[in-house]
Structure 1
Amino acid sequence: MRAPYASDPAATRGRRHAEPEAPPRSPFQRDRDRIIHAAAFRRLKYKTQVFVYHEGENYRTRLTHSLEVAQIARSVARVLGLDEDLAEALALAHDLGHAPFGHAGEDALKARMAPFGGFSHNGQSLRLVTALERRYAEFDGLNLTWETLEGLVKHNGPLTGPLAEPGVEVPPEIVAYDREHPLELASFAGPEAQVAALADDIAYNAHDIDDGLRAGLFDIEAAAEVPLVAPILAEVRGRYPGLESSRLIHETVRRLISAMVGDLCAETTRRLERDKPTSAAEVRAAGHPMVAFSEEMAANDRAFKAFLFPNMYRHHRVNRMTSKARRVVYELFDQFLAEPRLLPSPWQGDRLAPEAPETARVVCDYIAGMTDRFAMDEHRRLFDITVKP
């Protein structure tokens, strides 16, 4: 049963381009389906989460991560009486704008795009679903509902006004879109978007621990330094003495997820009972997140990140690969910006002048949409004379 504070597909604010709906699917179900069928979603299969795709088939990619986030988001939305389809759509779409090679690719594009308006994966996600996906006869983009677009850009909180995080600039793509189709950037997002954001935290905390252990970047004893891991690991070892390493890791990780999901549902229920919102609009206007961890779990979340940063994201093996990845993106960008006629024909326009801002944005769009594999192949085609162009 849908709670009164849930987003109601029957009361959606609609789509930017009017079109008939498609019963029996709700508007939010249709959004989810459009995201799944988008080319950008398929490309997540070969986009890095932490490990570049060729380093092993058992590590997370952006696609598998997005599916895991969607599973957690749907589960939480069901417990809270929210719209599961909207929560799932937002979870599936949240990483669409990421560049190849994970944060290394994003950092490289940010550096090269600094003189040309910058780069943000959040802004790029909006750009993809409103302009760059070209599948439909009557409009560019996916023509998603207002609620999905709003949740996509604001899932981490307000972008403008007194509630926004200080010092964070709003990506120009979002500013420009908001002028034409306002997304109420100064308020919190609806409850389903808030669920998707914390489902993302839960997924990458637990699963990066999993991938890091399986890759040998750290061992289970080091991971036990994280406050939430230690008691769960002790519980698993006590119940299953002598359990083989792979099962020990999986059993610990699945219990970590359960603990975080349980805390999220309990704390959110407490806030809902306290504030008694009667609509999704009241959740947006509450002035604080309605979906949240308890203070203790929020501290555990910070401890996860504090552990993973030096032990995984800055491990020398990861650093070496990210260094090579940055160079690939730098060299692709510089070459295409200097010689835009090297771009594939569909990306060339009549006014693509070398070093021009509009050329930089086209080059950025082209590179941001690449998979890790395609970026490496394109780099070889451009710089290895023995490879066919």
Structure 2
Amino acid sequence: MSSRDDEKGLAAEMAELSVYASDPALTQGRLYGTSQSPTRSEFQRDRDRIIHSTAFRRLQYKTQVFLHHEGQHYRTRLTHTLEVSQMARSMARALALNEDLAEAVALAHDLGHTPFGHAGERILNDKMAPFGGFDHNLQALRVVTRLENRYAEHDGLNLTWETLEGILKHNGPVTDAVGLVDIPAPGDLEPQTHASLEAQAAAIADDIAYNAHDIDDALRAGLITLADLADVPLVGPFVREVEARWPDIAPNRKAHEVQRRLITAAIEDVIATTDAELADLQPQSVADVRAAERTLVHFSPGLAAEEKALKAFLFEKVYRHEEVMVPVRESQALVADLFDQYLEHGSMPDRWGEAWRVSNDQTSRARIVADFIAGMTDPYAIDQHAALFDAKTRIG
């Protein structure tokens, strides 16, 4: 196929999208100029750069809910990310949005996560409180703009403005943008406005994936049973339907039938609700979406209330279950130990290079330490702790 044919193909693809979809041909660009690709749009190039990054590969060994070594069938941060990406693409397609941008944002949304999931993030944020704090969304921006260093001509992945904006704002406008002063971008990311619909699709896909797949993992772990879910809002009707229709099939098959019904219902609800929002607002461009005073891609009020109740159930029965909390407490202590040791003694100056040697204030050195710890996989963090403290933990 000739480059002219490729260009026609990309143009035809955009012609099928809505007026409020993000157009890669109208991107606000990259920080560093690049030659155009004859076969890929700018958002496709972003997606590919993210997939080939070191930070993306590390997600394979980072905790989702259950620590990576506890079983090969539990989700990791990587498998969660891939599931979010699939759902984001599905919704983007149904809403006539740019699937590639939705996918790129979904693939990058967790690149800033620490080892040991949210437990590691909480401790790192506590330790960084005197130095500007720690947030995994801002950390993802640091990863893709500063910390990935494989290119000959620049640090970072040199992503488009739209992908960077989506990483920052997929959960909504950012009112506290202190950490953005250190983020190199091709232009103002406009933190106080809403993100594109593609980024909003990635955000709601994250919520849907969390609910459905945390239920699946919790059932596998034996923390809950299907009977426990029978009266829980949102998921309960699907449990009763599956139990009535297939009372004698294996529990894992029942769990899958419940999970796929839950995912389908949530996605279809989001699509219908978003269609109604768009019909009401009638945006004529992606700029109109950003200027809207509300999120447009979301659950209906009824499903949102049920989803909130389901989250409350999972919080009580799964996330705060003692079998989960024991390794959570140990992982938090491990991260705290590493941070204190590195900041006080500079245990890895050769690894941190010139940035550490020329840093003459505690704030910049603390950020170097936070970057280093956030980039660790679970096994690497455990190994580093064992080497520094000669200690064996339950999570190791």
TM-score of the superposed pair, with normalisation by structure 1: 0.93
Aligned match of 2:95? 80
1:285-322 deviation per Cα after TM superposition (whole angstroms, max 9, x unaligned):
12111111111111122112111111111111111000
Equivalent pair of 2:116/2:331 in contact (CA under 8 Å): yes
Equivalent pair of 1:352/1:359 in contact (CA under 8 Å): no
Q: For the structure 1 residues 355 and 223, does the alpha-carbon distance in structure 2 shift closer, same or farther, using more than 3 Å as the test? A: farther
One of 218, 241, 251 as aligned partner of 1:212? 218
Q: Helix, strand or coil: the match of 1:19? A: coil
Aligned match of 2:4? none
Shift of 1:348: 3.2
Alignment of 1:302-321 (within 5 A): 302-321=308-327
One of 145, 158, 174 as aligned partner of 1:130? 145
Counterpart Cα distance in 2 of 1:379 and 1:230? 43
Aligned match of 2:348? 343
Counterpart Cα distance in 2 of 1:45 and 1:156? 23
Aligned match of 2:389? 383
Aligned match of 1:94? 109
Equivalent pair of 2:234/2:306 in contact (CA under 8 Å): yes
Q: For the structure 1 residues 10 and 327, does the alpha-carbon distance in structure 2 shift closer, same or farther, using more than 3 Å as the test? A: same
Aligned match of 1:286? 292
1:141 is aligned to 2:156: yes
Counterpart Cα distance in 2 of 1:99 and 1:357? 19
Counterpart Cα distance in 2 of 1:225 and 1:120? 35
Equivalent pair of 2:50/2:107 in contact (CA under 8 Å): yes
Counterpart Cα distance in 2 of 1:21 and 1:379? 45
Q: Helix, strand or coil: the match of 1:119? A: coil
Q: Which moved more, 1:62-71 or 1:219-228?
A: 219-228
Equivalent pair of 2:29/2:186 in contact (CA under 8 Å): no
Amino acid at match of 1:277: P
Counterpart Cα distance in 2 of 1:78 and 1:16? 29
Aligned residues: 376
Alignment of 1:322-333 (within 5 A): 322-333=328-339
Counterpart Cα distance in 1 of 2:213 and 2:226? 14
1:215-263 deviation per Cα after TM superposition (whole angstroms, max 9, x unaligned):
0111112122321112111111222221211100011001100000010
Amino acid at match of 1:345: D
Counterpart Cα distance in 1 of 2:107 and 2:38? 22
Q: Which moved more, 1:270-279 or 1:308-317?
A: 270-279
Aligned-residue CA RMSD (Å):
1.7
1:58 is aligned to 2:73: yes
Shift of 1:104: 1.0
Counterpart Cα distance in 1 of 2:293 and 2:129? 32
Aligned match of 1:373? 379
1:106 is aligned to 2:121: yes
1:8-41 deviation per Cα after TM superposition (whole angstroms, max 9, x unaligned):
1111111111222212100000000000001000
Q: For the structure 1 residues 385 and 313, does the alpha-carbon distance in structure 2 shift closer, same or farther, using more than 3 Å as the test? A: closer
- What residue ranges of structure 1 are gaps of 5+ in the alignment? 161-168
One of 343, 360, 363 as aligned partner of 2:369? 363
Counterpart Cα distance in 1 of 2:86 and 2:156? 25
Q: Helix, strand or coil: the match of 2:289? A: helix
Counterpart Cα distance in 1 of 2:34 and 2:200? 28
Amino acid at match of 2:22: S
1:242 is aligned to 2:248: yes
Equivalent pair of 1:13/1:146 in contact (CA under 8 Å): yes
Q: For the structure 1 residues 270 and 318, does the alpha-carbon distance in structure 2 shift closer, same or farther, using more than 3 Å as the test? A: same
Amino acid at match of 2:247: P
1:185 is aligned to 2:200: no
Equivalent pair of 1:32/1:86 in contact (CA under 8 Å): yes
Aligned match of 1:166? none
One of 255, 262, 269 as aligned partner of 2:261? 255
Equivalent pair of 1:12/1:146 in contact (CA under 8 Å): yes
TM-score of the superposed pair, with normalisation by structure 2: 0.92
Shift of 1:150: 0.5
One of 212, 227, 247 as aligned partner of 2:233? 227
Amino acid at match of 1:363: V
- What residue ranges of structure 2 are gaps of 5+ in the alignment? 1-15
Equivalent pair of 1:126/1:173 in contact (CA under 8 Å): no
Q: Helix, strand or coil: the match of 1:351? A: helix
Q: Helix, strand or coil: the match of 2:357? A: coil
Q: Helix, strand or coil: the match of 2:140? A: helix
Shift of 1:352: 6.0
Identity of aligned residues (%): 56
One of 19, 43, 48 as aligned partner of 1:4? 19
Q: Which moved more, 1:150-159 or 1:220-229?
A: 220-229
Equivalent pair of 1:134/1:140 in contact (CA under 8 Å): yes
Q: For the structure 1 residues 179 and 370, does the alpha-carbon distance in structure 2 shift closer, same or farther, using more than 3 Å as the test? A: closer
Q: Which moved more, 1:112-121 or 1:192-201?
A: 112-121
Q: For the structure 1 residues 135 and 294, does the alpha-carbon distance in structure 2 shift closer, same or farther, using more than 3 Å as the test? A: same
Equivalent pair of 2:46/2:163 in contact (CA under 8 Å): yes
Aligned match of 2:3? none
Shift of 1:51: 0.8
Counterpart Cα distance in 1 of 2:331 and 2:102? 32
Aligned match of 2:9? none
Q: For the structure 1 residues 334 and 194, does the alpha-carbon distance in structure 2 shift closer, same or farther, using more than 3 Å as the test? A: same
